[in-house]
Structure formats: C-alpha cells, structure tokens
Chains A and B, each alone.
Chain A
Amino acid sequence: MILAQSEGFDPLNPRIEIGQWADDLVSWFEDTFKPVLDLISDGLGGAYDGLSNALREPSVILIVLLFGLIGLLFWERFPPLRALSMSFVVVPIVLGGAAGWGVHALGEELESQFLALLIVFALIGWLVRSWAFGIFSAVAFYVVAGMDEWDRAMETLSLVLISVIIATLIGVPLGILAAKSQVVSNAIRPVLDFMQTMPAMVYLIPTLFAFGIGVVPGMISTIVFAMPPGVRLTEHGIRNVDTEVVEAGQAFGSPPLRILRQIQLPLALPTIMAGINQVIMLALSMVVLAAMVGAAGLGLEVVRGLQGLQIPRGAEAGLAVVVLAIFLDRIVAALADRAPVVRASRVRD
C-alpha cells in the first residue's frame, strides 16, 4: 500500500500519506493482537464495572473494610495509641470495622446510598490531612450529592482511579529503568513528548476502533495521556538522589536492587508522589474526552450540557469534577508528606 501511494509521488506537489499509514498500522495492530486487545478490553471494562458498582452502591463488606482502614489510620495518627504495643493495632481495625457496619446500617435505615462513603471520604480527609480538610470534604461531597451528581461522580472516580493505578504501575517502573539506563532514557523521551503533545482526542480514534464504544477506549486514552509525568518525575527523582549517598550504599557492598529499595526509592519518593499527583490531574482532565467515546460519568454530563447548551447541567457536572480533583490532589499531597524522608526531615527536638 505504501508503495502504491508513493508511485504517483510528485516531489513538487507532495502528498505524504501519513494518515493512511497510521490507519494501516492500526488495522494491522488490531488484526494481529486481537486476543490481547480483547483481554485488555475485558479486564479494564470488568475492573471499571466492578469498582463503579461498588462505589455507587457500596456493600456492607466494602464499608467495613474501609472503616477498618480508617481505624488503622486513626491508630497511626495518634502517637499515644501507637506507643501501645504493635499487637494492639488489631483493636482499632476491629473497632473501625464495627463502626463501618453501624454506618452502613444507618445508611440503609435512612435509605441514603451516599452517606457511608461520604463519611469515609471525610474521615480520610481528616486523618490523612487535617480536621479542616475533613470538614471541607464532607461539605464538598455533600454538595455533589445535592447536585444529584453522586453516581456519576463515583463513575468518574472509578475511571480515574483505575487509569491512574495502571498508569502508575507502568510509569514508575519505566521511570526507574530510564533512571538506570541512559539508553532507555534516550529512547523513551521522544515517545513521552509525543504522548503528551499529541492532541488527546487523536488517541480516541484508534482506541475506539480497537475497543468499540464504551468506557475502555476512554480509559486507554487517559492512561496514555496521563502517564508521561509519572515516568518523567520518577526518572528525575531517582537521578537526583545525592550521588554520595548512593556511593555509600555501593561502598558498603550493597547490591544494585537493594540500593534501589533502601536508598534511591525512599529518597525519590516525594518526587515520585508529585508525579503521581500530576498523573491524577491529567487523568481528570481527560474525563470529558473519554465521555465523547461513550464513557459514563461526569464527563458525559458536561458533553450533554454542551450539546444542549444547558448551563446548569454543565456547571453542576463541572463543579463535581473540581471537587474530585481537589480531594484527590490534597490527599496525594498529604501522603507525599508522610514519606519517611519528609517526616525525618521535619523531626525536631
């Protein structure tokens, strides 16, 4: 086909058929990797359905588990509790779980589907960051529920969480490789530039062909678009670890993987977390685009608002996206502040 195109090539009036080639490439790719694509499609679609259903109509098990986690955070946050022996950690988890069971029952009683998760978000906001942020989270998510955007917000949250987890699982190891090897670094830099600068909508077209209408092409595009800062900041973080400290590891005979685990990753963690934060923000910025190929959620509401020129619809869905963005951003930033190296740097007598 390429030959056929170039036979009639006129150097003075060139028409280079890159678009056609891209189409051929995508067709070839689809034909060749059909089983793999199906697997990805089923996997992503299944994960999304599972998570969004779980968040929209949280089961008692999920709420009990989440409250168990909150119990753990509570125990870990207050030193007097932590000072008690390690084995007591079971107590706050069990108590938390019991509280979760109670909250879920209360939600059933009041016939409110969002109540339990709203309390979970507020408590996480408090324990991970501050009481003020806990209150903010409670109010903000209550407003989301009040705008009748709760279910769609949970769908968007599911899409973003799954995309971010996958982008991180691919991006961070890639960043580590790039930091270790100049060849890898040189090879992936242009690819990352390409991924970031190519208008995001372009990704929608081939993924649409490969996966059909629905949430999967939106997630794939989101992953591709949001991953680069995760890779870049991981590489940057690891490369910027003080050479002398790495040398210290080598000088005492530590093997490379152990240096990575004990020295490079802990010291680079704040930078890596900043990268993950960027990934989340970029993923959120993709939700509207994802809606164009059929992903449900807040993005779809924005698209409909645009199509119908309905200001209320767009405003409400947009505001809900902002709430999600602020919540995720602050939580991740607070988690980055809990990295051991940041904590140790704050210790004072």
Chain B
Amino acid sequence: MAAVRAEGLYKVFGRKADLAVQQLKQGASREEVAKLGVTPAVIDASFEVEPGEIFVVMGLSGSGKSTLIRMLNGLWHATDGHIYVDGTDIVNAHGAELRQMRKEKISMVFQHFALLPHLTVAENAAYALDIQGMPKEERFARAEEALEMVGLGGWGDRFPVQLSGGMKQRVGLARALAAGSEIMLMDEAFSALDPLIKREMQEQLLQLQSSLNKTIVFITHDLNEAMRLGDRIAVMRDGRIVQIGTAEEVLNDPANDYVAQFVADVDRTRVLTASSIMEPAQFVVNADSGPREAQYTMREKQMVAAFAVGRRGDKLHGVVHDQDVVSAVRRGDKSLEGIIDTDVGAVHQDTYLVDLFAPSAENPLPLPVIDDEKRLVGVVPRVTLLSAMASIADVVHTADSPAQDAATTGVTRGFGTEASNAGQGGDA
C-alpha cells in the first residue's frame, strides 16, 4: 500500500472555488477559470508515494508545489480530490482528527527552518514530543538522540540564533526525526542554504535515509537537488503535474517540451553547475596578512600555491605562489599585495560543467569557485571535474541500456501524466 496517495487533487483559492473546479474538470484552462476571480494553485494532481521512497516534487515558484505539500498534512484543505495517508482519506478530516494524524504519522521540515527562537536547540528538537505529551525526561533523551543523528549532539543548550543556517536546518530535521513519524514532508528544506552546506545536507539526508527508511516528500526548485535526492521526481508546472519518473527518465525522456526545456539541452554538463560538484577550499591564506604568516601556513600544509582571501567576507583576491612568498619574506615585505597573482581563472558558482573544462585544462591549480560577491565558496580540482563527468557518463549509459529502461518504466510509467490511469491503478 502506498504511504501517501493523492487522487485528483485540486486546490483553488477564491470564493467560487467549487465552480472553478467543475470547469477545470470539464477541460477549462487555468486562464479561463481565472475570470471567476479564483487562483487555481493545484490542478488534478494524482500520485503515489511508496513507503521508504524519496519523492521529489520539482517546479518553479508559483507552480503549486508548496500548496501541494501543505495539503498532504492538511495545513490547507484540498478543494477537491482525495489524499490517503496510510489508507485513510484525510481530506474531510477536521480539528482533533487532523492533529492526531499529524502527531502520529507526518512530520515536516520547513524552508526557513521555523525554529522557535526563544527555545533552546533541545527544546526545539523535543517540540513535537512535547505536543505528543511525552514526559520531560523521556522527550529530551529522544531529542538528544535525534540531534546526535544529525551531528548536533551536545548542542542542546544553545539557542537557534547561535547556529549557522545549516545547523538550524539540522535542528529542523532532528525535530522531524524525533517526532518518530514515518512520513516526512520537506518544503524546500535546503533551498535557503549555501551551496556547499546544501550539498552536505543532501548527503546527510541520503545517509540518514539509508538507515531510517522514511517516506519523504521533498519539494524543490533545484534540478540538481531533485536529481541527487529523488527516487522519483514529479515535475510541476502551473499547478499540474506534467511528468513523474526517475531522474534518468525525466532527463532522457521528458514528457513534454516544458520538461525538456527544464532539463536543459539534454546535455547534463549543461545542467549541473560548478556549485554542485565543488569541494571546500583547503589551500587558503589571509590576503591581509604578511608574507611571513602566509609562508608559515603554506609550509604547515605543504602547499605550492594558495588562494589569497580577504579577512572580511572571504573575498577572493588571487593566488600566491610559494617561490614569491619566500622571496617576499627575504625582501622583508610587509604585505602580500605585490605578489598576489590576480589571474586565477575564477569561475562563478552557477557556471555549467561544460564551461569548466577549458579553464581547468589551462590552470594547474584547482579552479576557484566564487559567488556574486566574489567570495570564494569552493574549488573544483581537475580530478573532481573528471570523476563527475565519469559518473554522468555512467548514468547516461545505464539509462540507455534496454533492460534498465524496461525495468524503470515498468515501475514508473503508471504514474504518468494521465492522472486517471494512476487513479484506476490505485483502486484496482
């Protein structure tokens, strides 16, 4: 049995919502019903989420994915359709019934973390258990376990304000894990995080998932993230689900032009960006310090060259080479200014992989990756770029082989764009 099943789900905002649903069912377009003064946010969405699966809903902002996820735990009432959680239809559930379902079965992780700022990390992690009415000692023990799971053991007595964005979201994750429910809704959970932290969190989620086997519905607008996390991906546009399939299927067999455009030019090196494969920069010296300090750092870590980064805001100034630093020390220079080589071939974090090859080939050092403020956010060593390419080639290869193709379509075709098919399949 599916852990979560949606059947012909509609959410229309406005007074004449019911009328609008009628018209939409008779084939009216989104624009036509907009004349009624209503906003259809989700139109005829049907899908099933299997237990233990990560189901990603991907779409641009305004595509209805946030509305969709909020209907799954009843934060917003569906205008029409059915939602089965563990086989129970929750669309007509109200008040206490709905709260009971949320306590027992579904937890949620939020885009901006939604921690309670006046409570400690432990109290936040224990929040769901508090609501469930668990005695104090027991719930703090459980919360501490959950915090350990996400790598925040011992941070319990801090306040959210003392944590970085990534750590805050770990608390959000711990709160959801501590609740002990089988189903987790994650609403753009990593979208507010820096690229490297985001990657880390994605890896951690996958790692946790491999042992916990939760059912996860994950909302994102980030294709890279959807590809990395999703066992299956549903692509949404203008309130409708336009395709459901595995990452390979969505890439290789887009259901329509929109999806095709979304997955960008078929070539994955044009989909994945520098930020999705970059690694933390190891060889960094302070651009404002003197050559002596730089020499010390470089000798310590045995580097031949290092990125010179400003003390304020990590701004990348350039690169310094070992022989220049040594001669600067010998000359008795007070600052690194004269010997910083500014020609480092830095690439923006949104640069596609395809555009990284030329600079990477020209440059003996790892490519520095910078953001809009020219801050050093990571590096792409040549070996990383090459191994990323190798794994992409793998994916393409396996997806092309007929046997694999048949297997994946067998599982996933059923949830294609024809919602009625999926519905019948579910009833049978």
Say which one of A20-28, A53-61, A219-227, A243-251 lies at the interface with B: A243-251
CB pair A247 B102 closer than 8 Å:
no
Given A251-B75, A252-B131, A252-B179 in contact, is the A341-B117 Cβ separation under 8 Å? yes
Which of B100, B111, B185 is the one whose CB lies under 8 Å from A253?
B100
Query: In the complex, which of the residues B73, B75, B102, B114 has the most CB atoms of chain A within 10 Å of its own CB atom?
Result: B114
Write the nearest CB–CB distance from B214 to chain A, whole angstroms: 15
Does A148 belong to the interface (CB within 8 Å)? no
Does B30 belong to the interface (CB within 8 Å)? no
Count of chain A residues with Cβ under 8 Å from any Cβ of B?
Answer: 27
Chain B residues lying within 8 Å of A146, measured Cβ to Cβ, are none
Chain B residues lying within 8 Å of A82, measured Cβ to Cβ, are none
Interface of chain A residues 39 through 72 with chain B (CB within 8 A): none
Does B352 belong to the interface (CB within 8 Å)? no
Interface size class of B (residues with CB under 8 A): 20 to 34
Given A248-B108, A248-B110, A344-B160 in contact, is the A255-B99 Cβ separation under 8 Å? yes
CB pair B111 A244 closer than 8 Å:
yes
Interface of chain B residues 130 through 162 with chain A (CB within 8 A): 131-132, 158-162
Chain A residues lying within 8 Å of B185, measured Cβ to Cβ, are 251
CB pair B159 A347 closer than 8 Å:
yes
Given A252-B102, A258-B131 in contact, is the A245-B107 Cβ separation under 8 Å? no
CB pair A253 B99 closer than 8 Å:
yes
Q: Mark A209-242, 1 if CB is under 8 A from B, else 0.
A: 0000000000000000000000000000000001
Given A253-B100, A253-B102, A253-B131 in contact, is the A266-B118 Cβ separation under 8 Å? yes
Chain A residues lying within 8 Å of B131, measured Cβ to Cβ, are 249, 252-254, 258
CB pair B114 A349 closer than 8 Å:
no
Given A242-B112, A344-B159, A344-B161 in contact, is the A251-B117 Cβ separation under 8 Å? no
Which of B107, B117, B128 is the one whose CB lies under 8 Å from A267?
B117
CB pair A244 B99 closer than 8 Å:
no
CB pair B110 A267 closer than 8 Å:
no
Does A345 belong to the interface (CB within 8 Å)? yes
Does B55 belong to the interface (CB within 8 Å)? no
- The CA-CA distance from A252 to B130 in the complex, in Å, is 10
Chain B residues lying within 8 Å of A254, measured Cβ to Cβ, are 99, 131
Chain B residues lying within 8 Å of A348, measured Cβ to Cβ, are 162
Which residue in chain A gives the minimum CB-CB distance to B99?
Answer: A253
CB pair A253 B103 closer than 8 Å:
yes
Which residue in chain B gives the minimum CB-CB distance to A255?
Answer: B99
Given A252-B103, A345-B117 in contact, is the A244-B110 Cβ separation under 8 Å? yes
Chain B residues lying within 8 Å of A344, measured Cβ to Cβ, are 117-119, 159-161
Does A312 belong to the interface (CB within 8 Å)? no
Chain A residues lying within 8 Å of B392, measured Cβ to Cβ, are none
- The CA-CA distance from A345 to B118 in the complex, in Å, is 8
Does A173 belong to the interface (CB within 8 Å)? no
Which residue in chain B gives the minimum CB-CB distance to A250?
Answer: B75
Does B127 belong to the interface (CB within 8 Å)? yes
- The CA-CA distance from A328 to B6 in the complex, in Å, is 58
Which of A247, A258, A263, A347 is the one whose CB lies under 8 Å from B116?
A263
Chain A residues lying within 8 Å of B119, measured Cβ to Cβ, are 344
Write the nearest CB–CB distance from B123 to chain A, whole angstroms: 10
Interface of chain B residues 172 through 189 with chain A (CB within 8 A): 175, 179, 185
CB pair B162 A349 closer than 8 Å:
yes
- The CA-CA distance from A263 to B116 in the complex, in Å, is 7
Interface of chain A residues 101 through 143 with chain B (CB within 8 A): none
Chain B residues lying within 8 Å of A251, measured Cβ to Cβ, are 73, 75, 102, 106-108, 185
CB pair A250 B102 closer than 8 Å:
yes
CB pair B127 A244 closer than 8 Å:
no
- The CA-CA distance from A247 to B179 in the complex, in Å, is 16
Interface of chain B residues 85 through 107 with chain A (CB within 8 A): 96, 99-103, 106-107
Write the nearest CB–CB distance from B334 to chain A, whole angstroms: 33
Write the nearest CB–CB distance from A272 to chain B, whole angstroms: 14
Write the nearest CB–CB distance from A84 to chain B, whole angstroms: 18
Write the nearest CB–CB distance from A264 to chain B, whole angstroms: 11
Which residue in chain B gives the minimum CB-CB distance to A245?
Answer: B114
Chain A residues lying within 8 Å of B115, measured Cβ to Cβ, are 245, 248
Residues of A within 8 A of B (CB): 242, 244-245, 247-255, 258, 262-263, 266-267, 339-341, 343-349
24 residue pairs from A and B, CB less than 8 Å apart = A242-B114, A244-B110, A244-B114, A245-B114, A245-B115, A248-B108, A248-B127, A250-B75, A251-B108, A251-B185, A252-B103, A253-B101, A253-B128, A258-B131, A266-B116, A341-B118, A344-B117, A344-B119, A344-B159, A344-B161, A345-B117, A345-B159, A346-B161, A349-B162
